[in-house]
Amino acid sequence: MHPKDAMFKPPAIQPPEKTLPLFKRLFTLADNPIEAWPRAVYEEDFYWAPSPYGPKLLFVTKPEAIREILLDRGEDFSKGSIFLRFLKPALGEAMLTAEGAHWRWQRQAAAPAFRPDTMAKLTPIMSAAAEKMLARWRAAGVGAQVDVAQDMVRITFDIILDTMLSGGEGIDIEETSREISIYLETLGRPSIGDILGLPPSLKKLMSPRGVRAANYLRSVVQQMVARRRSGPSGRGDLVDLLMQAKDPETGRAMSDMELRDNLITFIGAGHETTALALTWSLYLLSQDSVTAQRVRAEVQSVTGDASITQAHVETLSFTRQVVLEAMRLFPPVAALPRQASRDTTILGMPVPKNTIILMPIYAMHRHSKQWDRPDVFDPDRFAPDLGLERQRYHYMPFGAGHRICIGLGFALNEAVAVLATLMREVQLDHNPAHKIRPLVRITMRPEGGMPMRIAALMSRSVD
């Protein structure tokens, strides 16, 4: 362990002391919204942001208030216009974006794919995908430069296709990842028009590349749906579950369009986020050799040279703490928006209809009232006996309440299995010329990827 004063403090967003002046605020919101959040968001329970255009905007960081919004009085708060503006062009009204009964039956249809007993069988597929990347890195050799952000996307994309979609049947991973990035940089990114409340159709008109990317995603998944509809069922994967599901209210099955939109949701929500959790974990470990050594020692003692299984994942508690702490400092989803669907209250405070509520996860995870030394990388804060992981409205990389991430257990298993597999055999050094700047584009990605150098490759006698 290191002395507390020698712990690594990664570069962080420097919040403006006060609300930015109007024009600077508009441009910052369009460039990287998180850089416009003033210091008050990191120190106060509530912050009403000036919003000369459109509805009022309220930042909420107090755990008890968040519980009201996401759980106790969830019916007063919808996902709202921000969500729909950025996600609907690609995802339609699938599980992430739908509301009410339409959401509920889609969630129930997919739930069996995420049961713990189903999950346990998937872990070997997860470690195998990481081993495939290790083989590429071995072929590249010590000294090779790699973009860890891109390579983590490759691993998690392989995993989501292999575990949920029976291999994805012809989906071109490289091309699809490229199109997802284009979407996130265009239609998935706030524009001045979004901030001024201009109609989404105008944004589409101004972003032909974004529209083409959304169309590409739709057409590849549509083709997969058509192949699955005409082939035999019975594989028991997520596609089968969704095809067989019946809406309990109407008795109808999902249309091709609903099936397509849900599959795009699972592909999108189910790989980029975990890739980011892994990218930030590897970055933090590259800067903190003492913690990296603890992870390696744990992996070695739990797994020896064997491929990583579910039983190992359940025992790799320090490796899991590293992932949890990486998602505290760099949450893949940096903020959760909601919108008041009627005049309502939060902890007794009046909140008018249409108010946009922003739960700024990045700032909540570094809030001065909630955390000791909030900017320091310290996986020991997640020691299981301290119970922090269970404080759902305080630490919430996966959201909370009724709409909590359905893939939480899947993602944590995956991140631990992949991180352990990689850390056992490789040492990566971050390229010091690369400046760390988290950029919010629906998810929070490192600007310029994560360039690293393969500094050492450790051997393992393969079982």
Q: Point out which residues bind ligand HEM (CB under 6 A).
A: 79, 95-96, 107, 265-266, 269-270, 273-274, 277, 332-333, 336, 397-399, 403, 405-407, 410-411
Q: Which two tokens stand for residue 246?
A: 């019946």
Taking the CA atoms of 21, 183, 445 and 67 in sequence, report the sign of the dihedral they define: positive
Q: How far is the CB of 175 from ligand HEM (least distance, A)?
A: 21
In the complex with ligand HEM, which residue's Cβ is closer, 344 or 413?
413
Indicate the residue type of 268: G
- Rounded Cα distance, 99 and 93, in Å: 8
Are the CB atoms for 260 and 284 separated by under 8 Å?
no
Q: How far is the CB of 345 from ligand HEM (least distance, A)?
A: 21
Taking 3-state DSSP, the helix, strand and coil percentages for the chain, each rounded to the nearest 5, stand at 55, 10, 35
Bridge pairing between strands 57-60 and 356-359: parallel
Taking the CA atoms of 277, 278, 283 and 285 in sequence, report the sign of the dihedral they define: positive
DSSP state of 74: G
Q: Which two tokens stand for residue 155?
A: 């691993």
DSSP state of 112: G
Are the CB atoms for 105 and 247 separated by under 8 Å?
yes
In the complex with ligand HEM, which residue's Cβ is closer, 20 or 363?
363
Residue of minimal CB distance from ligand HEM?
A: 407
In the complex with ligand HEM, which residue's Cβ is closer, 96 or 452?
96
Dmax (CA) of the chain: 64
In the complex with ligand HEM, which residue's Cβ is closer, 96 or 428?
96
Residue-wise over 396-433: b if at least 16 C-beta within 10 A, else e? bbbbbbebebbbebbbbbbbbbbbbbbbbbbbbebeee
In the complex with ligand HEM, which residue's Cβ is closer, 15 or 331?
331
Q: How far is the CB of 417 from ligand HEM (least distance, A)?
A: 13
- Rounded Cα distance, 56 and 357, in Å: 9
Using alpha carbons, list the distances in angstroms from residue 407 to 191, 322, 376: 29, 19, 27
Q: What are the phi and psi torsion angles at 198 (to 5°)?
A: -70, 155
Q: Which two tokens stand for residue 324?
A: 């949890």
Q: How far is the CB of 209 from ligand HEM (least distance, A)?
A: 25
In the complex with ligand HEM, which residue's Cβ is closer, 339 or 427?
339
Q: How far is the CB of 100 from ligand HEM (least distance, A)?
A: 12
In the complex with ligand HEM, which residue's Cβ is closer, 108 or 293?
108
Q: How far is the CB of 42 from ligand HEM (least distance, A)?
A: 19
In the complex with ligand HEM, which residue's Cβ is closer, 40 or 190?
190
Q: How far is the CB of 115 from ligand HEM (least distance, A)?
A: 13
**Can you name the residues that pair with 346 across neighbouring β-strands?**
349
Q: How far is the CB of 143 from ligand HEM (least distance, A)?
A: 31
